[in-house]
C-alpha cells in the first residue's frame, strides 16, 4: 500500500531533523525548518486525535434470542439494582426491565436500551403489537435452587428479561408466564442533558449518572473542580452510582463520562461552587 503524501512528507522531515545536526559542512537547521517539522507533526497528531473523538453514533445491534417474564413493582422499586430513585420521574417510565446476570454485568449495563419482540409463541403473543422498548434498570438475580428451564429463568448462562408488569402486557398475555423473545440493543432517546445527582457527605461522595442518550450505559466517570481538584477518576459504587473520597465541596464541578461505545461527553461547570448534597444537576448529553 502506498503511503499517503502527508505521511511521506512527515517521514522526510523527520529524517532531515535527525541528519542535519550531524552535518558538518552545513549550518544548523533554521528556526523555520524546525517550525515546519513541528507543524507537520502537529497536523498528524491533530488528525489522529480528531479521529478518536469523532466516533459514530450508537447503532442498533443484531437480533438475539432470549426469554421474558414479568415482575411486580412500582416507580420507586423498578430502579432497584441500578439505584434509579424514581423511574417515572427520571424519564424512564414503566418501560423498564431487570436483566439476568449475563446481561446485567454487575451493573455495567444500567441505562442500556433494548427493543423486544414476542416471538415463536402464537398462543400468547399479541398479534399486531409493535416492539416494546425498555431500559435496563434492575437485576434479575439467579436462583440456583431451581433448574434453568423451570423457575431459574435468570440463572447463568441464560439471557433473560424480567419486564415491569405494567408494560409486559404489550407483548403477551400475563397468563403466559414466560415467553420467547427476540431482542437487540438500540440507541437511547432522552430529553435534555445527562443528570448528575450528588449524594454522600463531606468525606465520601456518590454521584448517580442518569438520563444518558446514545449507548445509555456508562463505563467511566471523571470529575474535576475549578480550583484544587484536577481530573479524578471515580469508581463504580453499584449500578449507575459512582463514588470518590476526593474532596468536591466548595468547587464548581465538571464531569466527563464515557459510554460503552467509547464515546465521551464532557459537561463543564455543571454545578455552582455552593452545590448541595441531594441535588441534581444537568450536563451535556451525547449528540
End-to-end CA distance of the chain: 35
Instruction: Determine the pLDDT at residue 12.
Output: 53
The domain defined by 194-283 carries CATH number 2.40.50.100: no
Q: DSSP of 44-55, one letter per residue?
A: HHHHHHHHHH-P
What are the grid coordinates assigned to 23, written together?
552535518
Instruction: Determine the pLDDT at residue 126.
Output: 87
For Cα atoms 259, 262, 263, give the angle at the middle one, nearest 5 degrees: 75
The domain defined by 64-185 carries CATH number 1.10.10.10: no
Q: Tell me the CA distances in angstroms from 142 to 82, 90, 150, 168, 257, one per residue in order.
A: 17, 27, 12, 21, 30
Residues contacting residue 38 through CB under 8 Å, at least 6 positions apart: none
Q: Tell me the CA distances in angstroms from 82 to 126, 239, 255, 283, one per residue in order.
A: 30, 4, 20, 20
Instruction: Determine the pLDDT at residue 53.
Output: 53
Instruction: Determine the pLDDT at residue 9.
Output: 53
How many other CB atoms are there within 10 angstroms of residue 278's CB atom? 8
Cα(135)–Cα(96) distance, rounded to whole angstroms? 5
pLDDT along the chain (287 residues), means of 10: 48 49 43 40 37 74 96 84 91 94 96 95 84 96 94 96 94 93 97 97 97 97 97 97 97 98 96 97 94
Instruction: Evaluate the omega torsion of the peptide bond into residue 157 and state whether it is cis, within 30 degrees of 0.
Output: yes
Q: DSSP of 252-266, one letter per residue?
A: --EEEEEETTS-EEE
The whole model's pTM is what? 0.79
Q: What is the residue extent of each domain of the chain? A: 64-185, 194-283
Amino acid at each position: 500500500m502506498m503511503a499517503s503524501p502527508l505521511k511521506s512528507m512527515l517521514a522526510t522531515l523527520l529524517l532531515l531533523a535527525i541528519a542535519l545536526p550531524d552535518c558538518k559542512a552545513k549550518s544548523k537547521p533554521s528556526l523555520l525548518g524546525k517550525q515546519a517539522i513541528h507543524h507537520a507533526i502537529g497536523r498528524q497528531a491533530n488528525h489522529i486525535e480528531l479521529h478518536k473523538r469523532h466516533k459514530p453514533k450508537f447503532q442498533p445491534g443484531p437480533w438475539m434470542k432470549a426469554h421474558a417474564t414479568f415482575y411486580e413493582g412500582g416507580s420507586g422499586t423498578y430502579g432497584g439494582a441500578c439505584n434509579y430513585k424514581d423511574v417515572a420521574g427520571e424519564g424512564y417510565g414503566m418501560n423498564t426491565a431487570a436483566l439476568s446476570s449475563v446481561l446485567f454485568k454487575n451493573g455495567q449495563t444500567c441505562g442500556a436500551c433494548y427493543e423486544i419482540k414476542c416471538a415463536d409463541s402464537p398462543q400468547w403473543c399479541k398479534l399486531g403489537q409493535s416492539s416494546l422498548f425498555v431500559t435496563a434498570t434492575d437485576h434479575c438475580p439467579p436462583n440456583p435452587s431451581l433448574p434453568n428451564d423451570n423457575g431459574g429463568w435468570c440463572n447463568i448462562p441464560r439471557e433473560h428479561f424480567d419486564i415491569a408488569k405494567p408494560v409486559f402486557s404489550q407483548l403477551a398475555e400475563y397468563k403466559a408466564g414466560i415467553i420467547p423473545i427476540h431482542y437487540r440493543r438500540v440507541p437511547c432517546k432522552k430529553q435534555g442533558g445527562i443528570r448528575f445527582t450528588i449524594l454522600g457527605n463531606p468525606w465520601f461522595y456518590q454521584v448517580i449518572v442518569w438520563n444518558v442518550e446514545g449507548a445509555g450505559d456508562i463505563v467511566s466517570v471523571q470529575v474535576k473542580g475549578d480550583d484544587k481538584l484536577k481530573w479524578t477518576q471515580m469508581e463504580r459504587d453499584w449500578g449507575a452510582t459512582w463514588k470518590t473520597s476526593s474532596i468536591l465541596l466548595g468547587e464548581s464541578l465538571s464531569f466527563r463520562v464515557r459510554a460503552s461505545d467509547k464515546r465521551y461527553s464532557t459537561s463543564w461547570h455543571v454545578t455552582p461552587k455552593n452545590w448541595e448534597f441531594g441535588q441534581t444537576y444537568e450536563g451535556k448529553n451525547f449528540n
